[in-house]
Amino acid sequence: NAGVTQTPKFQVLKTGQSMTLQCAQDMNHEYMSWYRQDPGMGLRLIHYSVGAGITDQGEVPNGYNVSRSTTEDFPLRLLSAAPSQTSVYFCASSGLAGRYNEQFFGPGTRLTVL
């Protein structure tokens, strides 16, 4: 199993550009989530999904869109990048909905917006 994978590892954008951060897992996990990590602020939840076709907002959803068309994939879209979105982004997944399960994190994507 590859676990949770994320692409790209690094990305530099200009203000106003759009892009999609990719996240995939091969563990048949129902629950997937996106976090951003900024110095001194821990991991802040952006969006999460409890299964294909179901998504919901986290703590800091503004400026980000998500969709979940398959169990395996959970892409994060930045429609118009802003310097405030410079951060490290982590995708995570965990097992069956309704149970307390460890979240497995991907390796992260370091995004810089100029």
Partner 1 sequence: GENVEQHPSTLSVQEGDSAVIKCTYSDSASNYFPWYKQELGKRPQLIIDIRSNVGEKKDQRIAVTLNKTAKHFSLHITETQPEDSAVYFCAASGTGGFKTIFGAGTRLFVKA
Phi and psi of 75, rounded to 5°?
A: -75, 150
From 27, 43, 65, 75, residue interacting with partner 1 (rule: CB under 8 A):
43
Quote the CA–CA distance of 2 and 74 in Å, as a whole number.
Answer: 16
Sheet strands (E) in 8-75: 10-13, 19-25, 31-37, 43-51, 54-57, 64-66
Other C-beta atoms lying within 10 Å of the C-beta of residue 69: 10
Q: Does 50 bind partner 1 (CB under 8 A)?
A: yes
The single residue among 34, 35, 64, 89 that binds partner 1, judged by CB under 8 A, is: 35
**58 scored as a contact of partner 1 (CB under 8 A):** yes
Stretch that binds partner 1, among 16-24, 32-40, 63-71, 73-81 (CB under 8 A): 32-40
H helical segments located in 1-114: none
Shortest distance (Å) from residue 15 CB to partner 1:
27
Q: Does 45 bind partner 1 (CB under 8 A)?
A: yes
Binding site for partner 1 (CB under 8 A): 31, 33, 35, 40-45, 48, 50, 56, 58-59, 90, 94, 97-103, 105-108
